[in-house]
Amino acid sequence: MIILGVDPGTVVLGYGIIRVEGKKLTCLTLDALKLDAKKDPFERLADIHAAIAELFATYQPDHMAMEAPFFGKNIQSMLKLGRAQGVIMSAGLAAGIPVVEYSPRKVKQAITGNGAASKEQVSGMLQHIYGLESMPKVLDATDGLAVATCHAYAIGSPIQASMSVNKLKKAPKGKGKGSWSQFLSQNPDRIQGGQSE
């Protein structure tokens, strides 16, 4: 199985591609696409789409994993990043490739065991995992490799909480509509024993 991991960006887009064979992980490539910040934003989106399509054609990934955006205070930056994400997602879905998303904290937790790890710590652990002689100076590339690795761990885990199609519906507080009774009726498969024989 081949997994493409993407760290979306409108100026720098990081990516890493891995092969998963049983428990063995192999890094096929990791790099960062540097986009011209002076270029028209829509032209940059076209460049992102073309780059992702080229990766699909070259490596033929079975899955694509993306790092979810960190919600900052700059609304304009978030809108631009959201557009880039949409272009990447639509390219994957149009190619018939399953697309999943992981929060930065979940990725760091999967790689280092610490959701608050620094990018440098994540890079160092990835270098160890893959036995790479050196790592790119651009950390966006290692972020792409990290999210691909996180996805490999998630789909290889017996408990695939983040990947489960049958996710728990959020249990609302209070009584009446949106109460525990409604939650239990909507999730009968989540009710386990507990009755004494």
- pLDDT value at residue 26: 96
pTM of the entire structure?
0.76
Residue recorded with tokens 């789909």: 155
Question: Which residue ranges does the chain devote to CATH 3.30.420.10?
Answer: 2-156
* Cα separation, 36 vs 26, whole angstroms: 31
Which residue numbers are catalytic? 7, 67, 140
Give the neighbor-by-neighbor strand order of the sheet with 63-67. 24-34, 12-21, 2-7, 63-67, 99-102
> What is the pLDDT at residue 157?
54
Query: Which pLDDT does position 178 carry in this prediction?
Result: 52
Successive 10-residue mean pLDDT values, the chain, 197 residues: 95 96 93 93 95 96 91 76 92 94 94 91 94 90 96 72 34 47 58 43
Beta strand extents in the chain (DSSP E only): 2-7, 12-21, 24-34, 63-67, 99-102
Q: How far apart are CA 16 and CA 28, in angstroms?
A: 8
pLDDT at 189: 54
* Concatenated DSSP letters of 45-94: HHHHHHHHHHHHHHH--SEEEEEPPP--S-HHHHHHHHHHHHHHHHHHHH
CATH numeric code, 2-156: 3.30.420.10
Q: What burial class does residue 175 get, using C-beta atoms within 10 Å of its C-beta: 0-12 exposed, 13-18 middle, 19+ buried?
A: exposed
Name residues whose C-beta falls within 8 Å of residue 11's C-beta, 6 or more positions apart in sequence: 34, 35, 37
Residue type at 185 in one-letter notation: S
The C-alpha atoms of residue 109 and residue 70 are separated, in whole angstroms, by 15
